Amino acid sequence: MSTVSSPPEETLASVVIVDYGLGNLRSVTRGLERAGADVEITDDPAAFHDADGVVLPGVGAFREGVENADPLREDLLEVAESGTPLFGICLGMQMLLTTSEEGETDGESAVQGLDLIPGTNVRFAEGQKVPHMGWNELEVEREHPLVEGVDGNYAYFVHSYYAAPDDEHAVVATTEYGREFPSIVANEAGNVFGTQFHPEKSGETGLRILQNFVEICAEE
């Protein structure tokens, strides 16, 4: 299954959106097109390797996401290993980590994420309103090309779990919601990263994030 969007007036990079049955594929596509990408929505691993960058979107539960994407697991790991930028959005970002408390709280055994950014996704504390839904501020903690020009800006969140990486250096930006949590994470090499918020729903802040991503892809 493959869908190719109309190319933007100025194409800076080719980007593949992974279609594994979950995610706001159309809105992510439109955002990336505005950012200057030529976008293909596909579940064909050959397209992953030909693209300048790969986006792993996601909306829903960790277990369902991991199980749906499992046939593409080795291909996604190869993308990361090759140095190609791999961008996880919301659930897609959580899937970059090792595991999640989500299955455990439902009385189910844990499922394994991609383990590209070692860590666990944990639920907001009992008594806190979940899902966390709305606009919150991004505080950049360290340099990364994805966050150029967005420190102090607001982004749109919808989630009940947040990433807790094993390595503090994996945290690129944080956000406050009852507690400080990582809102942008990245691996040590810098080519695998994710946002807990939805850039495609985050107005000018989100567009800047997507533009930064496309520029990262164009430089590869």
Residues that are catalytic: 90, 198, 200
Distance of CA 29 to the CA centre of its chain: 14
> d(Cα 100, Cα 63) in Å, to the nearest integer?
9
Say how far apart CA 39 and CA 181 lie, in whole Å.
31
Q: Write down how long the chain is.
A: 220
The three-class DSSP label of residue 86 is strand
Q: What's the maximum distance between 2 C-alpha atoms anywhere in the chain?
A: 50
Determine the distance from the C-alpha atom of residue 14 to the mean position of all C-alpha atoms in its chain, rounded to a whole number: 17
Strand order from edge to edge, sheet including 161-165: 99-100, 119-123, 161-165
